[in-house]
Amino acid sequence: MKLLPDCRDMSSRLSEARDSGRALTLGERLHLLMCAWCRRFRVQLDVLGLAAARAPEGGPSLSAEAKARIRRALGA
Amino acid sequence: MTDPAAWPDAYGDRLFRYALSRLRDARAAEELVQETLVTAFRSRDRFQGASSELTWMTGILRNKIFEHLRRQAKEAALGAVDDGAREDGLFAEDGHWTKSGAPADWGGEPAKAAESAEFAAALRACLDALTPAVAQAFVLREMEGLGPAACAEALGVPSNHLAVLLYRARMRLRRCLERSWFAPEPAR
């Protein structure tokens, strides 16, 4: 039996903990203390979540045809 | 309330971008924006003015996106189509990150990158490369902020399968962003 989770375990556990909101176990926290790569991975999950939650600012616009079609559907 | 004839110009682009970022399908996004504005028009008597018109319409659009994704998940039996083969090569046999698979350094303040519109565009491009089941799980959970139980229900998958889909989404998105956005450099 492994005393500490390895990086593969940690990657899935960190993802799961992000969704469940559970606290990390002692073994998981110890692994993070020792492993810079898993610490980076954890930061990356946060960054992905932050970026995804932001409303898109730029990007494509609704086409003129679609706007005209919607105006017709609204009876305007 | 503003004149409904002005809604397509006033709100159409922002609603469209919101829908497109979640659906990754311009035609479906256009249809849902149209349905949203028609629904808003029909229920305009119920608009109390407690929030802005755009916020109210975005709420209507959000519900329509959920319905659309739920319908799509049912039609495509999304839970069964992702084999996870693309996680190969990230971990060595001993379970530790391989040198080529290890998370790269995303710079001093990676959270700042998340605030840029360019990073958001790169993320959307990476999202386009995901399989539908994996992408939809990520959209519902991280973009819409739905709880895990509601996500699983919307996608018609058990909660443990949802956890696998979200894990794959995050693993693939971070790899994709490392290649397309962050300059690759040795992790340590």
State ipTM.
0.86
Do A52 and B123 count as a contact with CB atoms less than 8 A apart?
yes
* Residue A14 lies in domain: 1-54
Per-residue confidence (pLDDT) for residue B184, from 0 to 100: 52
Residues B142, A49: C-beta atoms closer than 8 Å: yes
Distance from CA of B140 to the nearest CA of A (A): 10
Flag whether A76 is in a domain.
no
Residue at A61 is within a domain? no
CB contact under 8 A, A40 and B124: no
Distance, in angstroms, between A31 CA and closest chain B CA?
11
- Give how many domains chain A has, as a whole number: 1
Residue A66 lies in a domain: no
Among chain A residues, the shortest Cα distance to B138 is held by A52
3-state secondary structure chain B: CCCHHHHHHHHHHHHHHHHHHHHCCHHHHHHHHHHHHHHHHHCHHHCCCCCCHHHHHHHHHHHHHHHHHHHHHHHHCHHHCCCCHHHCCCECCCCCECCCCCCCCCCCCHHHHCCCHHHHHHHHHHHHCCCHHHHHHHHHHHHCCCCHHHHHHHHCCCHHHHHHHHHHHHHHHHHHHHHHCCCCCCCC
Domains and CATH numbers, chain B: 4-76 (1.10.1740), 81-180 (1.10.10.10)
Residue A62 lies in a domain: no
In tens, the pLDDT along A18-66 reads 999 999 999 999 999 999 999 999 999 999 998 888 766 667 889 999 9
A70, part of any domain: no
Q: Is A65 within a domain?
A: no
> Considering the domain boundaries, does residue A73 fall inside one?
no
- pLDDT tens for chain B, 188 residues long, are 788 889 999 999 999 999 988 888 899 999 999 999 999 999 988 888 888 999 999 999 999 998 898 888 777 654 444 555 556 789 999 999 999 889 988 877 777 777 887 888 888 889 988 988 899 999 999 988 899 999 998 888 999 999 999 999 999 999 999 888 776 554 44
CA-based nearest residue in chain B for residue A60 = B17
- Residue B188 is predicted with a pLDDT of 46
Selected residue with higher pLDDT from B108 and A70? A70
Half-sphere exposure of B150 (CA within 13 A, CB side): 11
Query: CB distance A6–B18 less than 8 Å?
Result: no
Q: A32 to chain B nearest CA, in Å?
A: 13
Residues of A with Cβ-Cβ distance to B119 under 8 angstroms: 51
Residue numbers in A near B16 (CB within 8 A):
60-62, 66
- Domain contains A3: yes
Cβ-Cβ contacts under 8 Å, A54 against chain B:
114-115, 120
Tell me, what's the pLDDT at B187? 47
* Residue B128 near chain A (CB below 8 Å): no
